Amino acid sequence: MTTRLIVWRHGNTDWNAAGRFQGQADVPLNDLGRRQAERSAQTLAALRPAAIVASDLRRAADTAAALSAVTGLAATHDERLRERFFGEWQGLTRAEIEARHPAGIARWRAGEDVVGDDVETLDDLGKRVSEAFQDAAALAPGGVVVVATHGAAARQGLAHLLGWPGEQVRTLRALRNCHWIELTLEEGPGWQLSAYNVGVPAEGNRSASESVQAP
């Protein structure tokens, strides 16, 4: 019996377009993001999901709602799926962070777990998101579950679930808006990565924020 977990990043926002670190600021989808969600939902609906779970932040919740509209499945919300809390960096561009918090951003670029400036640690992020992934998968053993979340949360949750070291996580490209990861769970091998950064070709899938890997 194989359970498939689709980890879906939200659509584009104005802060994505401006290259601003969103973290847990509740920024809504923009028009492009809504179109991306609608296009992706058509493809994901063909997988016949048995359950949909989303972060309670609007950009992820509204992305999940596009899939709910196609499938008729109501999405549940789990705050553990929220993006990494970026503390004093939220709302700032990378250039602004480099000017105001140079030591912290240097640690972030180096992939350190603790960067300071009230930014959530990678370990804490990975633990809470991977727990949410496991609970979501348990909703439909042997079926397909779609989880709508955020870029850094998706990547670190995946890494924690698979037991990857930090050096390996840093080899992954940033997850594009409305693209997804597929993880499978089966008895014996356990959790495995089946696909990464899969999505529907559409306008504007690469944003300024993706280039710095901080949605």
Q: Which residues are catalytic?
A: 10, 83
The gap between the terminal CA atoms of the chain, to the nearest Å, is: 34
Place of tokens 């992820």: 60
Instruction: For residue 117, say whether it is annotated as part of any ligand binding site.
Output: no
Write the CA distances from 211 to 14, 23, 37, 137, 205, integer angstroms: 15, 16, 20, 30, 11
Instruction: Give SS3 for 77.
Output: strand
Instruction: For residue 11, say whether it is annotated as part of any ligand binding site.
Output: yes
Instruction: For residue 143, say whether it is annotated as part of any ligand binding site.
Output: no
Instruction: For residue 43, say whether it is annotated as part of any ligand binding site.
Output: no
Tokens of 75: 């999405």
CA pair distance 10, 54, nearest whole angstrom: 10
Instruction: For residue 16, say whether it is annotated as part of any ligand binding site.
Output: yes
Instruction: For residue 15, say whether it is annotated as part of any ligand binding site.
Output: yes
Across 10-143, the runs of DSSP E, i.e. the strands, are 51-54, 75-77
Task: Note the Cα 130 to chain centre separation in Å.
Answer: 12
Q: Which residues are annotated as a binding site?
A: 9-16, 59
Q: Which residues are annotated as a binding site for substrate?
A: 9-16, 59
